[in-house]
Chains A and B, each alone.
Chain A
Amino acid sequence: MPGLTHPALAPIESVGRATLALVRAIGQGGYLAAGAVRALRSTDIWAPHILTQMYQIGVASLPIALFVSMFTGIVLALQASYTLTGGVPEYFVGTLVGKTMILELGPVLTGLALAGRVGASIAAELGTMRVTEQIDALETLAYDPLAYLVVPRVAAGLLMFPVVIALAITIGVVAGWVTSISLLDMGSPQFVKGLKMFFDGFDVTFAMIKSVSFGLVVTGVGSFFGFHTVGGAEGVGRATTRAVVVSTMLILVLDAFWAAALL
């Protein structure tokens, strides 16, 4: 189409290119998701590997998740004490720490931390397998690569993200509690009173719903970019970066979506 190469049409070309890339990505994502759902039937392929993935995604991620959560709880307690001055009762420190950790910071910060660790790990692993044609070899051996590589990771993410996030929330609240008692000269009953005062059982449900969705996003996006990696080692790095960036963005988008939909 030599008549359409005019420089003035370049922006339009960019929009069209981006749109096509988006549609292509959505199509590839849908194709990957549909294939993964179909691959659920091949339990003999993915079931033996799920424990390994649960360990990698869940247990191995606990230190970073708990570390982030613990310091978040400490900072929350200190900042709440700094902010709630004047006529505001001290026990609102407990309320602020509890509500914030359960509803927002526990799931989101843990999700972001796991997006960096788990999402990047999955994208790099699958991307390397793709560029070294290991995935092609699996297909040659009539091994469903989705059942072997994607389903165990996504399933482990769905199961272990809530586990890790629940423990992270607990550690964050406990850290805030200990900080309030030891550093803020606040009594334990006061903190507990504030913690219990506005607690609603739905808060935990809300956190778990978010956790599951974050697990799906992080493992799914990591698998997607890793599975569609092209361009050798450089492509692996690019896929890893994209996986982390897109996972982070989707976590924040989902966070807003669930808040708007459920609260």
Chain B
Amino acid sequence: MTRRRELLVGFVVLASAVVSVVGTLWLQGRGIGRTETEVHVLVNDVGQLAQGNAVKFRGVSIGRVGPIEVEPAGDAVRIHLHLMGEFLPAPDAVVLLAPESLFGDWQAEIVIRSRFPNMAFYDVPPNRRIQNGVRVLGGFTLPDLSRLTAVADEVAQNLAVLTDRFDKAFSDETAASLAQAIDNMEELTATLRTVVEEESSQISGTAEQIRIATEEIASTLAAARSSIDRLDAVLASGRVDSILDNAVAITADFRGVSGDVTSAIDRLESTLTSADSTMASLSRIAARVEAGEGSIGKLLVDSTLGLRAEDLLEQMSSLLDDIRANPRKYVRLSIF
């Protein structure tokens, strides 16, 4: 009896231990004696990823997420990935953390970086890409549903504000104003219709005048076209060449004349210089004469001297008359 009890107790205890251990390992996705590759991932934020979540490659589950820990420097989060079998990630492999479904379960998917050029995967420094023989990949976490929901909530709030403003804008008073504005518009439209009808006849006359003017312009253009045709004919006849030759000769003559004029201007400039100095001398002389200096000055200033000069001239005139009348009186010629 005791032996049977020992056997039963031992069996139950061992069965329980085996079931607990094997069941736990199985549920955690681990295998006993199975080859396993460990890969680490560095990310800024893990989102809702938790230990035990699936690791996928090309949609196939290839392992489980292991421990998740913050780096000692606090600049990143390190995720341990336990991959089944020998798995060698591509050189540009990265890990994308994203919800697996809409119900909160996440996954870590190993992808090629070039597939997601717009995602800012964690840039693992070259000296940290292999640590203790374990490959370290960069990761990126997609925003979870709660963040998207928060954004949607914000959008909904903005819409609510907008709706409220619309509601205020389109109150009864606004509707009445709008109705009044529509009435005014109808009245304005009727007035405009009347004006347009009145102006339409005038517009018709104006259009007739425009038509006549257009015809005149057309005839003028025709005349201009014929003139241009004649001008073309003249240009084509070669008379223009001779005119141009003459113009060249005239230009050369003008060039010679302009040279002569230039020399004449030069001479005129020297003459003007001399005249200027002469005028300066004359000015000085005039100043001295005006001041009564010299014979002429005294003559002009001293009135008695003028009278005396006149008297002298009279006397000389009478003398000359006397000489003419009686030359022998004053001139004696003797040869011997």
Contacts and interface: CB of A to CB of B under 8 A. Distances in A.
Interface of A: 51-52, 54-55, 58-59, 62, 87-89, 92, 98, 159-160, 162-164, 166-167, 170, 195-201, 204, 208
Nearest to B13: A163
Contact of B105 (A98, A163, A170, A197): A197
Interface stretch (B2-10, B139-147, B302-310): B2-10
B16 interface: yes
Interface residues of B, number: 24
21 contacts: A52-B5, A54-B9, A55-B8, A55-B9, A58-B9, A58-B13, A98-B27, A160-B13, A162-B16, A163-B13, A166-B19, A167-B12, A170-B23, A196-B27, A196-B28, A196-B29, A198-B105, A199-B27, A199-B52, A201-B28, A204-B23
B9 A201 contact: no
B156 to A, nearest CB: 21
Interface in B54-110: 101-103, 105
Contacts of A196: 27-29, 52
Interface string B106-118: 0000000000000
B200 interface: no
B19 A51 contact: no
A51 B5 contact: yes
A200 B24 CA distance: 9
A118 to B, nearest CB: 15
B12 A58 contact: yes
A92 B103 contact: yes
Contacts of A62: 12
Contacts of B318: none
A60 to B, nearest CB: 9
A51 B9 contact: yes
Given A89-B103, A199-B52, A200-B52, A59 B8 contact: yes
Given A59-B8, A166-B16, 8 more contacts: A51-B2, A52-B5, A55-B8, A59-B12, A163-B16, A199-B28, A200-B52, A204-B24
Contacts of B23: 170, 204
Nearest to A205: B24
A166 B24 CA distance: 11
B283 interface: no
A200 B12 contact: no
B29 A88 contact: no
B51 interface: yes
Nearest to A202: B51
B158 interface: no
B19 A88 contact: no
Nearest to A88: B103
Given A98-B27, A163-B13, A196-B27, A204 B105 contact: no
A25 B328 CA distance: 200
B20 interface: yes
Contacts of B280: none
A200 B64 CA distance: 12
A195 B12 contact: no
Contacts of A160: 12-13
A201 B24 CA distance: 6
Interface hub of A59, A89, A92 (most chain B Cβ within 10 A): A59
A127 B18 CA distance: 37
Contacts of A87: 102
A167 B16 contact: yes
B171 to A, nearest CB: 41
A102 to B, nearest CB: 9
A170 B103 contact: no
Interface string B275-309: 00000000000000000000000000000000000
